[in-house]
Structure 1
Amino acid sequence: MHYQGTIYRPPSEANSILLQVTTGCSHNKCNFCGMYKGQRFTITPDEIIFADIDYAVRHFPHARRLFLCDGDALVLPQSKLVTLLERIKSRLPQVTRVGIYANSKSLQSKTVEELQVLQQLGLGIAYMGLESGDDLTLAGMNKGATSTEMIEMGRKTKATGIRLSVTVLLGIAGAERSETHAVETGRVLSAMDPDFVGVLSLMIEPGTLLHAEYQAGRFAMPEPLAILRELRTIIATTELTAGLFHANHASNYLPIRAKLPEEKTATLALIDQALAGNLALKPEFLRAL
């Protein structure tokens, strides 16, 4: 397989074929993210992609999932995505789900009909980074979209039959807007009604604009218990029709995996135990991105 730079994929794609169709991120302006800094966004030529698909045919004959890397492959022209998915369906018929990162801008660039075509060709799940439902936090972190736009694009995705996985970041609003961030994030998640919610806790990366703000004293990181309270508020204010809520990423202080709405009460009780000091939080040295 041909790979350029560091390859990132969602935790749920750990056993998937990783097919790099772009390099870097088409937005690449988020103040907190250092994943693709210094990496120019490029589109992988068809001949390389097709060679990698042929490689996967020989070496991963039993893999049932495939993930299109990098940061926002949905930004590819519709014709290229159609050709790519048709090739995967033809050469890797055992693959039952193709996943992709998507942001608000790339989702806006596709019509509902175009997304439905991609879904019919095997695109089964889109991973969308919400980070926060608070518009001031979104603007401050240069996400490039408002909460209203995020809701619209999330609903648009679900309407096509593509499953929606939304990521949020605890601590991203800093200490000052911690509670607002949590309440507004619950509001937006409820409006989007995703199939999956993935929660990470902010870890400030050197080299990012947020790190410079932190060093200059203009961004105050919430304390661990405040981050845990954010998690509790988000869960308490999120109403899902039927979704999985994951907060078991290595960055989190308390691993949570719950079905909502049926396990909400038990999950809130578990968090309350931790807030009361009856459950140990993950020590800092074990946290990681």
Structure 2
Amino acid sequence: MHYEGKIYRPWMEAESVLIQTTLGCSNNQCTFCTMFDDKRFKVRDIQDIFNDIDEARVIYPRVESIFLIDGNVMAMRTDMLLKILDKLKTTFPELKNISLYSGFNDFRRKSIAELKEMKSAGLSMAYSGLESGDPIVLERIKKRMTREHAIEGMDMAREAGIKVLASFIFGLGGKARSVEHAVNTTSLLNIMQPDAIAPMALAVQPGSELEREINRGEFTLPTPLQILEEEKYLLENLVDFPCYYWGDHGNNISPMRGMLPAVRQPFLDKINQDIAHNPITKQNMIQTFAW
């Protein structure tokens, strides 16, 4: 099996076999991200992908979960992605889950019929970076996506039957826009109602544009207390829809995961306990760690 460049997958896909189908990210301009700075976006040759799938069959006696990388696999042509999905299902008849990265705009660039074909071909879930629901933050981070785009993409995925995990970043509004970031992200999630959410505390990546903004004094990191208050606001104000909460990323101050809305109160109790007693809340700004 062959991989090019730095490889990333969601932490909840730790047990999945990784098949590289695209290189990089078709946007690759987000100010907080350096994940794919080492490569330009392109779709791998399909025969190379098939060869890797065949090699994976030799290596692994049983495969129940596969995650397709790199950044936004959904950006590739539908006919090619369908061939890959078919190859996976044929090669691994025991397969239960096939997931990939997809931008919300990638859903919008497909038709509902195309998305339904992917679902029928075995696509289980898409991991989509929301990052923020605040229009100003979205513009500042160069996401090339609006609230309306995210809502439309989510609606299309839901109509096709593809589950969506939406990830977003506590602290991405900085110290000055913490409240607006929390309020607008929560309101957007209440409209979208994804199947799962994955909140992560901000981690400033070395060499990122965000790091340069911090060094120039254009972005002030939030405090740990603001990060906790953002999460508290989210948990208090999400409406009751079934949603798995993957809040256990390694950078999070209060790591926890479980099914909402059932876990809302114990999660809030934990957040309130940290706000009241965790000494990290006395720090003037968050300490960040590279992914």
Q: Tell me the TM-score normalised to structure 2 length.
A: 0.95
Q: Distance in 2 between matches of 1:248 and 1:107?
A: 27
Cα deviation, 1:205-244, whole Å, max 9, x if unaligned, reads 1211111110011100001111111111112222242111
SS of 1:139's partner is helix
Counterparts in 2 of 1:280 and 1:38: CA distance versus 1, 3 Å: closer
Q: Distance in 1 between matches of 2:150 and 2:28?
A: 17
The answer to whether the 8 Å contact 1:66/1:97 transfers is yes
2:85 counterpart residue number:
85
Q: Distance in 1 between matches of 2:27 and 2:288?
A: 30
1:221 counterpart residue number:
221
The answer to whether the 8 Å contact 1:165/1:194 transfers is yes
1:110-189 correspondence to structure 2 within 5 Å? 110-189=110-189
Counterparts in 2 of 1:240 and 1:125: CA distance versus 1, 3 Å: farther
Offset, 1:288: 5.2
Counterparts in 2 of 1:285 and 1:185: CA distance versus 1, 3 Å: closer
Q: Distance in 2 between matches of 1:288 and 1:62?
A: 33
Corresponding letter in the other structure for 2:96 = T
Count the aligned residue pairs: 288
Q: Distance in 1 between matches of 2:215 and 2:240?
A: 38
1:5 counterpart residue number:
5
The answer to whether the 8 Å contact 2:175/2:220 transfers is yes
Query: Unmatched 5+ residue regions in structure 1?
Result: none
Q: Distance in 1 between matches of 2:139 and 2:240?
A: 26
SS of 2:62's partner is coil
Q: Distance in 1 between matches of 2:240 and 2:39?
A: 37
Q: Distance in 1 between matches of 2:30 and 2:88?
A: 32
Displacement over 3 Å in runs of 4+:
278-281, 283-288
SS of 1:167's partner is strand
2:63 counterpart residue number:
63
Cα deviation, 1:142-180, whole Å, max 9, x if unaligned, reads 001001211121122122111110101011011111011
How large is the Cα RMSD of the aligned pairs?
1.7
Corresponding letter in the other structure for 1:226 = Q
Offset, 1:266: 2.1
The answer to whether the 8 Å contact 1:242/1:261 transfers is yes
1:49 counterpart residue number:
49
Offset, 1:279: 8.1
SS of 1:100's partner is strand
Offset, 1:99: 0.3
> Does 2:24 align with 1:40?
no
Structure 1 stretch 212-221 or stretch 52-61: which is displaced more?
52-61
Corresponding letter in the other structure for 1:64 = E
The answer to whether the 8 Å contact 2:6/2:38 transfers is no
2:264 counterpart residue number:
264
Corresponding letter in the other structure for 1:267 = F
1:187-226 correspondence to structure 2 within 5 Å? 187-226=187-226
Corresponding letter in the other structure for 2:93 = P
SS of 2:82's partner is helix
Q: Distance in 2 between matches of 1:246 and 1:287?
A: 19
Corresponding letter in the other structure for 1:136 = I
Cα deviation, 1:3-31, whole Å, max 9, x if unaligned, reads 00011111111111100001111110101
Cα deviation, 1:55-85, whole Å, max 9, x if unaligned, reads 1111123110111100001001011011111
The answer to whether the 8 Å contact 1:61/1:94 transfers is no
Structure 1 stretch 108-117 or stretch 251-260: which is displaced more?
251-260
SS of 1:50's partner is helix
Q: Distance in 1 between matches of 2:173 and 2:226?
A: 12
Offset, 1:268: 1.2
Q: Tell me the TM-score normalised to structure 1 length.
A: 0.95
1:242 counterpart residue number:
242
Offset, 1:286: 9.5
